[in-house]
Structure 1
């Protein structure tokens, strides 16, 4: 039986990876701080990775595969040091954010990454992932897969970004919905279950790979229009340009009072990364409509008008739409 160690295994993505490995017939152990259960069929080892001896309980066992997801460089470096001698392969979940720039359309894995974060420096996510990748390469070498997901989407997403659009058009019904200017904007996503399946495949085959795990680039309008179709939205789309939105305190990308997935126009490479290596390695890419339908079911179950971590409230949106129409 394949022995798999998930460093984490109780969160959104790592929990799905753990369940996928269990479903594949592996013996799965999750090392986490506790507070949330491991998936059914997986063992939970409770440990705080910031403490000395955090890996003692798992460093005495042999692992066919280790999955690491942390963006804390000190956690990754200590994990690879503790586990290298007892592990055949490690899959590290990095991020497209590791790249130093987002100004080249279609850039692949050869693009420059950020300078690794050094101990004592102010935390920066891009540089933290770069430092973690460096630790993995230095210790595991060709016994590691480094997977760089883009925007991870699907049911149970704790960030509330992708699900905002299908939830919002459903809530609006026949009423208008506010969007950024859609012409020329792109989007690029990866379904959480496609990503989990790929991470399992990397470990099962012990792939020595670096791959951008992301779907095909698509117009942002395609995402919005597909969400409208899934949710049967019949209202208008009210577009607003970047300058107007910024002047009205609407935030980019995520968080309160934002239009999720909206990005400044000077980042043309962000949603247009090459996924050729991912596809060549057999990475699955399901239909956008399928992801949106599953997300819509989840958003409906959680409440379309619930308080969200990302997006405008419906009241904020209606006020902005009125202001926009007065300005036209």
Structure 2
């Protein structure tokens, strides 16, 4: 397979490139040159936000294109139009954020989506991803694969969710662990996303797929306990009631990455229907493997994860954590939440 990746040097795009190279595919990455490309990939340089920034793509033919763009949909529109006659299939890595809020527990690919336009410039994330989907569909029709990813974790993460937990737990001591301990989590390992996307392209699949593990693939307890094991820190997980955490003004998802308490937002983020992707071959590795491999990657790069410049740093500061844990201990209410 001849594969063109628009991006291909960071997180999801890089995982796709590396998986394709491991299969012996001919891989070309088109990027701005800010990061080293995967070894073995052909390289084209360009900035799709600049005038004439797609010049390097004016020639060439590919069996498939993978596009991970997250900003102005017009950039997806321009690339898809340019490649429509010279590529067989187009996979756009979208997001579950395209569904109208609040999407209920069990929402599948038929749940209504937000409005979007392939011609839009800078819009919010959900509209941008929906506009990108429409841009891919406009040029490729049923040859467009819409990969509606959920929470993405794994080696190479540049958002700061799992790396923050690993870094915090590696410091040791009492750790604010948001309950319930058995709260189910739904996410996709970036390498499982990559392998499924390549399989789907090879099989000629098109249309939308919720690409995320089945609900309850793991739990908050399993995730954080895996972090304790791989770091060897001996950290003490202090499981704390969600109500106490929220009352302290601590924000789910941002202050405590990955976690949201049971309720409306939890159903949106951790209760999507992944059965269509599973039927199409999705296999999700255990959380212990995702945690261990992310920790190993962090050690290889010196312990500090890269941070996307368009995303704010995540995680709870030490003083606020210590304040809540101290207050909980003093009132003897900090107990394991089952």
2:258 is matched with 261
C-alpha contact (below 8 Å) 1:102/1:270 kept by paired residues: no
Deviations 1:230-257 (A, max 9, x none): 4454624141434x43454423212xxx
Task: Tell me, in whole angstroms, the C-alpha distance in 2 between the residues paired with 1:120 and 1:10.
Answer: 25
Aligned length: 321
Cα distance in structure 2, aligned partners of 1:113 and 1:229: 40
TM-score (norm 1): 0.88
- Alignment match, 1:18: 17
Q: How does 1:68-217 map to 2 (within 5 A)?
A: 68-71=67-70, 72-117=72-117, 123-172=123-172, 175-182=173-180, 185-217=183-215
Deviations 1:190-212 (A, max 9, x none): 11111111122122222224211
* 1:323 and 2:327 matched: yes
- Could you tell me how far apart the structure 2 residues matched to 1:9 and 1:300 are? 22
CA distance in 2, matches of 1:66, 1:55: 14
Residues 118, 135 of structure 2: 8 Å contact kept: no
In structure 2, how many angstroms separate the alpha carbons of the residues matched to 1:94 and 1:206? 18
SS in structure 2 at match of 1:198: helix
Structure 1 residue 119: deviation in Å?
5.4
In structure 2, distance between residues paired with 1:299 and 1:289:
15
For residue 70 of structure 1, report the CA deviation from its aligned partner: 0.7
**Which string of whole-angstrom CA distances, capped at 9 and with x for unpartnered residues, describes residues 3-43 of structure 1?**
21111111111112112222222222111111212111112
Contact 2:114 2:130 in 1 (8 A): yes
**Which whole-Å CA distance do the structure 2 matches of 1:13 and 1:291 have between them?**
14
Distance in 1 between residues matched to 2:239 and 2:304, nearest whole Å: 20
Equivalent-residue separation in structure 2 for 1:86 and 1:270 (angstroms): 36
Asked whether the 8 Å contact 2:4–2:66 carries over to 1, the reply is yes
Match of 2:315 among 286, 311, 315: 311
Please tell me whether the aligned partners of residues 144 and 206 of structure 1 are also in contact (alpha carbons under 8 angstroms).
Answer: no
Aligned: 1:33 with 2:32: yes
Q: Confirm or deny: 8 A CA contact 2:152 2:190 kept in the other structure.
A: yes
CA 229–122 in structure 1, closer or farther in 2 if over 3 Å, else same: same
Contact 2:48/2:75 (CA < 8 Å) preserved in 1? yes
Q: Which residue of 1 aligns with 2:240?
A: 239
- Which deviates more from structure 2 when the two are superposed, residues 146-155 or residues 311-320? 311-320
2:57 corresponding residue in structure 1? 58
Moved more, 35-44 or 76-85: 35-44
- Aligned to 2:223, the other structure's residue is in SS state helix
SS, match of residue 28 in structure 1:
strand
Runs of 5+ unmatched residues, structure 1: none
User: Normalising to structure 2: TM-score of the pair?
Assistant: 0.85
